[in-house]
Amino acid sequence: MMLPNSLLQRLASWCPWLLRDERKQPVKVLVTGAAGQIGYAIVAMIARGLMLGPDQPVVLHMLDLPKSAETLNGVRMELIDAALPLLRGVVATSDEAEAFRGVNFAVLIGGSPRREGMQRKDLIAKNVPIYQSQASALQQHAAPNCKVLVVANPANTNALVLKEFAPAVPAKNITCLTRLDHNRALGQISEKLGVHVADVRNAIVWGNHSSTQFPDARHATARTQHGEKPVVELVADEKWLKEEFVSVVQQRGEAVIKARKQSSSLSAASAACDHMRDWILGTPKGTWVSMGVYSDGSYGVPEGIFYSFPVTCDKGEWSIVQGLEVDDFARSKMELSANELDEERSMAYEFVSS
């Protein structure tokens, strides 16, 4: 006998164990920097199925520094107290080998934060040894085909260090987060047009997760009561699209830091879930998203850097959307960000230890 959906939903809310899906085996998800701000926000999102789907059980591996062990243990206690039906185990550790052991997915948020007055070079100097060490742990201990998202800044260059020092891990399995910038771009367009953000799609963020990124609305569309239309046509304000829109999205991270006195946490955690969900479960038909991936030379972007491109995902693989028109304005913005990433790569090599 088939039960109606409404009854099934009510049963699930009363006694989730009754309808627990026993068919899917739990997967292991690593979160580094789990005692930090983004870590605290993301672990519950993952254990509620927002990253890998509402029927996918998970075992959470959480890594943080020994000095944060007590805080990390507090996060572990809260996860137990939340009685989350999809959560099948929690490992809280400051040991990299234990943290990476057998993980299928790794969200790398841990790193040395940018302090006031710090130059980008100082940030790179502090993070290169961390990502060099985690590259070894990834290569030696993670499950084959482990999929990695780097969130910690400088995200693109940390991803590059990871790739360089984990040569056995396919480059396609390492990505970095620019989905937050992508979502910020959708948010700004939605505000400007007075349409719901879910009705806006196909913005692009090109380049580095930094203020040189190029948020591009030239191919975006929005659904209105008159159907789906190009955002360029609906906004009808080239100056806004080339100036205000670009600079608001580029500077949004700084604006949040100024307002909150700490960097974006819930939006970063949410974007990291969006990134992994779309990568693993696929992008909706006709929709692309922005992901930082190892450049294959598409759109004239040099190989050898992690660069944010428009991608579609299917069956756990991403592919760069090809054939979009790039005008002179876009080309100059895209080059600026590629040049910055090239400089970051040179700086990173200065701090590599043999």
Ligand X SMILES: NC(=O)c1ccc[n+]([C@@H]2O[C@H](COP(=O)([O-])OP(=O)(O)OC[C@H]3O[C@@H](n4cnc5c(N)ncnc54)[C@H](O)[C@@H]3O)[C@@H](O)[C@H]2O)c1
Ligand Y SMILES: O=C(O)C[C@H](O)C(=O)O
Residues known to be catalytic: 209
Does 60 participate in binding ligand X (rule CB under 6 A)? no
To the question of whether residue 39 is assigned a binding role by annotation, the answer is yes
Does 175 participate in binding ligand Y (rule CB under 6 A)? no
Does 151 participate in binding ligand X (rule CB under 6 A)? yes
Which one, of 88, 166, 158, lies nearest residue 130 by Cα?
158
Does 153 participate in binding ligand Y (rule CB under 6 A)? yes
Closest contact distance (angstroms) between CB of 237 and ligand X is 27
Which residues between 243 and 262 bind ligand X (CB under 6 A)? Answer: none
Does 136 participate in binding ligand X (rule CB under 6 A)? no
Which one, of 269, 156, 288, lies nearest residue 219 by Cα?
288
To the question of whether residue 37 is assigned a binding role by annotation, the answer is yes
What's the Cα-to-Cα distance from 245 to each of 68, 195, 289, rounded to whole Å?
A: 39, 16, 18
Closest contact distance (angstroms) between CB of 119 and ligand X is 15
Cβ(76)–Cβ(36) below 8 Å = no
To the question of whether residue 293 is assigned a binding role by annotation, the answer is no
Which one, of 310, 340, 303, 342, lies nearest residue 325 by Cα?
310
Tell me the residue nearest to ligand X as measured from the CB: 36
> In a 3-state reduction of DSSP, which class is residue 74?
helix
- Distance in angstroms (rounded) separating the CA atoms of residues 195 and 234: 11
Query: Residue 293 pairs with which residues in a beta bridge?
Result: 307
Look at the chain and count its residues.
354
Does 104 participate in binding ligand X (rule CB under 6 A)? no
Look up residue 312 and give its two tokens: 């579609």
Q: Which stretch binds ligand X (CB under 6 A): 61-69, 76-84, 226-234, 301-309?
A: 61-69
To the question of whether residue 12 is assigned a binding role by annotation, the answer is no
Look up residue 277 and give its two tokens: 């969900």
Taking CB within 5 to 8 Å according to partner kind, which of ligand X, ligand Y, none is near residue 256? ligand Y
Which of 93, 173, 250, 264 touches ligand X by CB under 6 A?
264
Q: What angle do CA 151, 214, 335 make, to 5 degrees?
A: 105
Q: What is the C-alpha R_g of the chain?
A: 21
Could you list the residues that contact ligand X (CB under 6 A)? 32-33, 35-39, 63-65, 68, 109-113, 130, 151-153, 155, 177, 180, 209, 263-265, 268
Annotated binding site for NAD(+): 33-39, 64, 127, 151-153
Residues that bind ligand Y (CB under 6 A): 114, 153, 180, 253, 256, 263-264
